[in-house]
Structure 1
Amino acid sequence: MSEVRARVEQVYREDSRRILATLIRLLGDFDLAEEALHEAFFVAVERWQRDGVPDNPRTWLVSTGRFKAIDVLRRRARFKASQPLLLAQLEELEQADWSGEDVEDDRLRLIFTCCHPALAADAQVPLTLREVCDLTTEEIARAFLSAPAAIAQRIVRAKAKIRDAKIPYQVPGLSELPERLDSVLRVIYLVFNEGYSASVGAELTRDELTREAIRLGRLLMELLPEPEVMGLLALMLLHESRRPARTSPGGELVLLDDQDRSLWDAGLMAEGCALVERALSTRRFGPYCLQAAIAAVHAEASSAAQTDWQQIVGLYDVLLRAVPSPVIELNRAVAVAKRDGALAGLLLIEGILGRGELQDYHLAHSARAEFCRQLGRVEEARAAYQRALQLTRLEPERRFIEGRLRELD
């Protein structure tokens, strides 16, 4: 029984969001699909113990969830005054063709649905992170520095809007695609970032999220090979290539300068760099292409000492003009410090913090602490590290900062 339960839990971790996406397409109802999903996994524990694990667990679970939803609608039709509507929904569901062939594309359909322009802009990303990536409301709230109740309310309103407005569950046609692209790219990158550097928890990375974001990026690239799609896919591939070296065997955080570059994935780096060159050659590149170009400069350096920081600072200058952002300013400050010394970086970071920006962003305080440490300003470094420690919710980062504080002592 324990082996079957472990297998069910594995399938849930790896495939539950794809299964949910397909059930939402089949049922046209987020809440009914979620109920059907959990019912299907509950049945799987018993049936798979008795009959064995099916050859295609994902298809089995979608089919089981669909039949469970039909049972729910039948029960509702007996007791509700809206019986004709429910019966029509039930008949449509029973007659729907379910071959299991469209499952791979369903998460991309779901992303475009969650990013539909009819939905409030501040609801699109939380809804996608909740439904596509299974992030909790609390995790999403932390990522957006918002209250969980506010995030939950946005998600509920967005689901109701999709239901009431009958927003189609489909990838838009080519004529509509460009105007819908920005929000979809943003969501896919947020999914990747949550996997590459988790907002909370015991592990630095969640590889199931990075893999899924890259898979969605590849699907989007097939659908619309625009420069920014290439840029985003390249950026994710280049970051992902470094993931094996970002933690020690014991799970401790390893900074970029200290990483064993022989662990970097050469195949992903080569693919990412080729996409960067292809995107930049169009001369229609945007923020994702520029960020990917910065990542490519890191990838091409044989060692930390060989990194072309002058080129990286120049790329950040262009990126800042395209997308003014205090986080990009912070990243540029780190690059300037690498080029011109810790004091130059510290002055830039203090300027950002002095404007009241990034006060609650732990990486800003970590960077300030690091520059103070390098300059021998021990008490300032200690205070900045302590502030960063108060703000971070990720255990490997907490252990790293605690180690730095011990070094200061």
Structure 2
Amino acid sequence: MTDASPDRAAERVARESYGRLLAYLAARTRDVAGGEDALAEAFATALETWPREGVPDNPEAWLLTVARRRQTDAIRRSTTRRHGEAHLSLIQDELDDLAMSHDAIPDRRLALMFACAHPQIDPAMRAPLILQTILGLTAADIGAAFLVPPATMGQRLVRAKTRIGELGIGFEIPDILALPERLDGVLEAIYAAYAKGWSDLADEGSALATEAIWLGRLVVALAPDAPEPKGMLALMYYSHARRAARRDSAGAYVPLEAQDTALWDQDAIAMAEALLRDASTAGPTGRCQIEAAIQSAHVARRLSGQDNWPVIVQLYDILLAMTGSPVVQLNRAAALAQAKDPVVALASMENLATDKRMAEYQPYWALRGHLLAQIGDTAGAHDALTLAMGLSMDPAIRDWLGAQRSRLVSLN
């Protein structure tokens, strides 16, 4: 037994191994929801048992053993023929597992990711489903990432998991011919996970971002001739290179245009540039490659000392035509403000004012407040910045927005 705090040990396993444990459990029965239930019961048992008996030397293996027993018991209680056959299969699994070292739990996350991205799963739900099953993100977190109310996202996730079981979708990595139709959902999920980790500078956020990069490298290795996985991995490396520059020595938020380029990780940028070059010569240009090219234009400032806003706007034009995404439109407006002026930028995002998804989207109100301040609409800027502050989860960004709002007051 280890001396670690039971609560802290359970939290670490949930953060680092949830997806690996769930992928193993779900692969046994093709029942994602059942695997989640079994794993949840195992964690509940751990929180009850570990304070009394101590944290086991291998918490992951302990949880897996308990969860597998719960899974087997649940199927044993079923009286249907299908579940009876599944029970016999699980008994064989248990016998096979006796020969397996618990120090080497099979990693079936990639197989689960591609099961979630199966063609018969709703395309809009493939990435959200991967985020919940592999990384354990909540419906609220996933809904925020995809601009969908948490309750609605939760219902859709339940239906998608049920669909996997109904269709008997195999938990396996598809052959090379079947990869393209599943790649988009997998790449979208990996980058959404990275974005969540990027927004959190705490250790947990760094771990999530690092995990996403690792998954991205796995996909690139799986499909070395496909350009989009390389574009996505390049995109993550570009962003990761700037992580240390996002806060000053006092912990205050530093926006991209004010960052000290000497703090950027040159090795990560070099890897990103090489990946983007490879992707650009490997085939048609996709969304990930365009987004990576935008980041490449941003980091070029470290060499020339000059921003590349006109080029960035042109790249956003291509991306917006490709996706029609309101988030892309918002980012394009921010680039327009730098390349031209705030009036043009505000006009370009005028239709977003009636988009219900923007009502609780913090970057929309932050940018709107910033642009209104630039054109002298102090009252409008104050209201927008106040809303942005209320929607900010990061105290450093909230303080930065508050400082902008205070400057408005001092101008009156």
For residue 85 of structure 2, the aligned residue among 88, 100, 121 is: 88
- Structure 1 segment 98-137 matched on structure 2, within 5 A: 98=97, 99=100, 103=105, 105-137=107-139
CA contact (8 A) 1:203 1:394 kept: no
- Structure 1 segment 15-26 matched on structure 2, within 5 A: 15-26=17-28
Matched with 1:190 is 192
Cα separation, 1, equivalents of 2:386 and 2:55: 53
1:269-319 residue CA offsets vs partner (Å, 9 max, x unmatched): 111111111111235221110110111122232289522223222322332
Say yes or no: does 1:212 pair with 2:214: no
Matched with 1:149 is 151
Task: Using the TM superposition, give the Cα deviation of residue 205 of structure 1 relative to its aligned residue in structure 2, in angstroms.
Answer: 7.7
Task: Using the TM superposition, give the Cα deviation of residue 217 of structure 1 relative to its aligned residue in structure 2, in angstroms.
Answer: 0.9
Matched with 1:30 is 32
CA contact (8 A) 1:110 1:169 kept: yes
Task: Using the TM superposition, give the Cα deviation of residue 140 of structure 1 relative to its aligned residue in structure 2, in angstroms.
Answer: 2.4
Matched with 1:40 is 42
Cα separation, 2, equivalents of 1:195 and 1:310: 29
Instruction: Return 223-232 or 252-261, whichever deviates more.
Output: 252-261
Matched with 1:270 is 270
- Structure 1 segment 306-321 matched on structure 2, within 5 A: 306-321=306-321
Letter in 2 for 1:121: P
Instruction: Return 263-272 or 243-252, whichever deviates more.
Output: 243-252
Cα separation, 1, equivalents of 2:136 and 2:55: 27
Q: CA RMSD in A?
A: 3.0
Percentage of pairs with the same residue = 34
Letter in 2 for 1:306: Q
Matched with 1:326 is 326
Letter in 1 for 2:133: E
The size of the alignment, in residue pairs, is 399
Letter in 1 for 2:11: E
1:47-93 residue CA offsets vs partner (Å, 9 max, x unmatched): 69757643x5434432342234334444x1xxx543x5444222211
Letter in 1 for 2:220: M
Say yes or no: does 1:169 pair with 2:168: no
Task: Using the TM superposition, give the Cα deviation of residue 243 of structure 1 relative to its aligned residue in structure 2, in angstroms.
Answer: 1.8
Cα separation, 1, equivalents of 2:203 and 2:311: 29
Matched with 2:384 is 384
CA contact (8 A) 1:237 1:271 kept: yes
TM-score, normalising length: structure 2: 0.85
Letter in 2 for 1:242: R
Flag the 1:8–1:117 CA change in 2: closer, same or farther, 3 A.
same
> What SS class does the counterpart of residue 206 from structure 1 fall into?
helix
Matched with 1:285 is 285
Task: Using the TM superposition, give the Cα deviation of residue 166 of structure 1 relative to its aligned residue in structure 2, in angstroms.
Answer: 0.8
Flag the 1:169–1:374 CA change in 2: closer, same or farther, 3 A.
same
Matched with 1:362 is 362
Task: Using the TM superposition, give the Cα deviation of residue 176 of structure 1 relative to its aligned residue in structure 2, in angstroms.
Answer: 0.8
Task: Using the TM superposition, give the Cα deviation of residue 130 of structure 1 relative to its aligned residue in structure 2, in angstroms.
Answer: 2.0
Letter in 1 for 2:167: A
Segments of structure 1 that go 5 or more residues without pairing to the other structure are none
Flag the 1:156–1:187 CA change in 2: closer, same or farther, 3 A.
same
Task: Using the TM superposition, give the Cα deviation of residue 43 of structure 1 relative to its aligned residue in structure 2, in angstroms.
Answer: 5.0
Cα separation, 1, equivalents of 2:357 and 2:406: 25
Flag the 1:43–1:178 CA change in 2: closer, same or farther, 3 A.
same
Instruction: Return 289-298 or 397-406, whichever deviates more.
Output: 397-406
TM-score, normalising length: structure 1: 0.86
Task: Using the TM superposition, give the Cα deviation of residue 231 of structure 1 relative to its aligned residue in structure 2, in angstroms.
Answer: 0.3
Flag the 1:327–1:28 CA change in 2: closer, same or farther, 3 A.
closer
CA contact (8 A) 1:4 1:49 kept: no
> What SS class does the counterpart of residue 170 from structure 2 fall into?
coil
CA contact (8 A) 1:196 1:205 kept: no
Matched with 1:254 is 254
Letter in 2 for 1:11: V
1:233-273 residue CA offsets vs partner (Å, 9 max, x unmatched): 10011112212222345554321122233332222111111
